[in-house]
Structure 1
Amino acid sequence: MKRGIATLLTVAVVLAAAGAGVLAWLAVRPDGTLYPQISAYTRGQLARVGPFAYCDPRFESCVRPENVGELTVDSANVVQLSVPEAIGYAPWRLLVIREGGFTEAIYRPKARLAVTIPTVEPQQGKLEKIVVQLPTVVQDETGELHETYHAEWTVETHWPEQ
């Protein structure tokens, strides 16, 4: 029991440190954008999108700009997702939402900055949405630790009519 709590607290400290690094990087970004943006590319279209929701890892400052990227997709082309170092140098989660369910992948810091996503998956069907999240661990009023996210980016897909 004590070992599990110690592990969760260690994860919380690591995530908080990573978040502090991200916030420091954001403060000195040369391109003038306030928050990191993800990119999704397919069929000659590029969607660059800022966060749907963004909080610092301690949830002391939060904004909800509700940005949502949009891509028109087809079954012949994949989606290329790219995340900037501000996201990829921290632990990040990718949710790929399809007609029949979703898949989740969690990437370790500095492990991956780009992912190729098929638009059709045989068991789950057509791609509907791509979500990128920055996870964090929070403690509730009873002392229980829970994983949540402090930032999220969303790209929705549209299929051309047949």
Structure 2
Amino acid sequence: MRFRTALAVAPLAAAALLGTAVGTAQAETASPNQTPATVQAAESPTVTVHLDDGANGFEVGRAISAINEDNRGEFVRRAVDEAFEASGGRYNVILMNLSQGYEERLESKRLYANVRWGSINYGLWIAEAGEFTNTGDGGYINWGFRGWFDREGNTVRFHRP
């Protein structure tokens, strides 16, 4: 856990040393028995990481919280891309509006986070494989995904790269 905490704090310290603005970002790393870590920036989405098993949750949260986007569909698309890149581009990513119906059967989950954009709450999953079905409304305003998958209607079957 010390290793993960050191990695989480280092980017903020490096940014401060380099004079890079990081806004009002706050970060904590939580063990499974602690409260979830939160990354939040003023006038930006809020990301609360509940599970981080090697997906670089701090960087994922920081990247998403830095998105300044008024268009909901564009926010979802950018958030998925940012999460994919920040987690190393080696896992499947899905972002889903939690007020819509869905069935999640993902395997080898690497990260789960809640993402709040305005009044909308999204779930963010990063996993190696599995299946995800959107049983609610589709479109980029409600869900987006990236990785290695086959899609049939509103069901996405993710596989390992």
Q: Does the TM-score normalized on the shorter chain lie above 0.5?
A: no
Larger Rg: 1
Higher helix share: 2
Give me the TM-score of the superposition, normalised by structure 2.
Answer: 0.31
Which of the pair is proportionally richer in strand?
1
Structure scoring higher RCO (CA < 8 A, sep ≥ 6) equals 1
